Amino acid sequence: MAKPVRMNLKEAVAQIPDGAMLTFSGFTIWRRPMAAVYEMIRQGKKDLHLVEVNGGTHSDLLIGAGCVKIWESCWIGHELFGKIGANLARKAEAGEVIIEDYSHVQILYRMAAGSMGLPYLPTYASMGTDMLNPAYDNLKTAGLRDGSNPKIPKKKYEIVSDPFYGGELLHMPAANPDWCIAHVQMVGEEGTVRVEGQLYSDSEAIKASDNVIIVAEQVVSEDYIRREPTRNLISGHQVSCIVEQPWGAHPTGCFGCYETDGSFIQNFFKSTRSQEGLDAWVKEWIHDIPDYETYLERIGITRLEQLRANPAFGYSTTIKRGTR
């Protein structure tokens, strides 16, 4: 793979074709590539196939906006700020989106196997649950496990005998998404990625994917980021393109940079529980504005400053969070 190309968000997102299999950085409502998700909706992406270790505000929005056909994961919601992914629930209950359920480890191991170049990984996780119920293998029910799509394995899982120590365990097939979009704190001009705080499943998601878009709070010189290689997560040869987009994970949080914007997410959750509400929200925050800079202007400098992380802790100490 050649050195990554620097581009703007519109150009980076334009590379993702309709129907692509896609994954993301982050965890639930932390470090999600929201600016890229807004841009995908603006560009009207269709039939996306999401395979993610867990869902959150980013994927619930993308699903609500009608960009997604298949969602393979284990959880979706907005943590304290909205108990379920209401858009996924609505679309699934209407038969418009296919859900394939896993446990956290099952889907994580799919991604990890993909990142290792292995066809599958064994695990004991979540044996004896309905995730393994053949009646609930929804991709099979939909006729999508016929081998025609090389990204969809012919079986959801396999229970196998342990050839070495006896007993049985579960094999989970590798996932290799076409694209990963990761929002990180810092990237070098040659694509070296630095992630601060909890790493979630970023390393597995990036390394499993065929193409990787890194959206960073800051692009810095390679010389700078290589002074402390032990702090870096991914080398540039595993990155396709890099984009600089400060505040690009808002309203999700970004360790060391800014806090999760809980009230914004809460408002999203409350106002998008119906399709009409979601459509109005998308019009107001995405289609009626030209780009992410305008979005940030609308959030406003006062709010952004409240969210800004205190460098001593990596989170905001000024934002009001609870009832006291």
Partner 1 sequence: MSRDTTLAKIGEFKPIDLLAVAAAREVTDGDVVFAGTGLPMLAIGLAQLTTAPTAVCIYEAGSVDGRPISLPTSVGDARCIYQASVASGLFDVFNQLQRGVVDLAFLGGAEVDKYGNVNTTGMGKYGIIPEKRLTGSGGNSDINGLARKTVFIMVQEKRRFREKVDFVTSPGWRIPKWPSGEMVPKKEVYNRAFRGGPEAVISNMGVFRFDENGEMYLDTYHPGCTPQQILENCSFDLNISRVSGETKAPTLGELDLLYKTIDPEGIFLP
Other beta carbons less than 10 A from residue 321's beta carbon: 11
Q: How far is the CB of 170 from partner 1 (least distance, A)?
A: 9
- CB nearer to partner 1: give 103 or 209: 103
- CB nearer to partner 1: give 22 or 309: 309
Q: How far is the CB of 100 from partner 1 (least distance, A)?
A: 10
- CB nearer to partner 1: give 124 or 224: 124
Other beta carbons less than 10 A from residue 223's beta carbon: 10
- CB nearer to partner 1: give 126 or 272: 126
Q: How far is the CB of 279 from partner 1 (least distance, A)?
A: 20
Q: How far is the CB of 37 from partner 1 (least distance, A)?
A: 17
Angstrom distance (rounded) from CA 154 to CA 310: 49
Angstrom distance (rounded) from CA 186 to CA 10: 20
Beta bridge partners of 183: 215
- CB nearer to partner 1: give 26 or 236: 26
- CB nearer to partner 1: give 2 or 230: 230
Beta bridge partners of 181: 24, 213
Angstrom distance (rounded) from CA 98 to CA 229: 41
Check if the beta carbon of residue 43 is closer than 8 Å to that of residue 72.
no
Q: How far is the CB of 67 from partner 1 (least distance, A)?
A: 18
Backbone angles phi, psi at 220, to 5 degrees: -120, 170
Supply the DSSP symbol for 253: B
Q: How far is the CB of 181 from partner 1 (least distance, A)?
A: 18
Other beta carbons less than 10 A from residue 310's beta carbon: 12
Q: How far is the CB of 238 from partner 1 (least distance, A)?
A: 16
- CB nearer to partner 1: give 5 or 122: 122
With b meaning 16 or more CB within 10 Å and e meaning fewer, what string describes 277-301? bbeebbeebbeebeebeebbeebee
Q: How large is the angle between the packed helices 34-42 and 57-64, nearest 10 degrees?
A: 10
Beta bridge partners of 154: none
Is the CA virtual torsion 204, 205, 210, 213 positive or negative?
Answer: negative
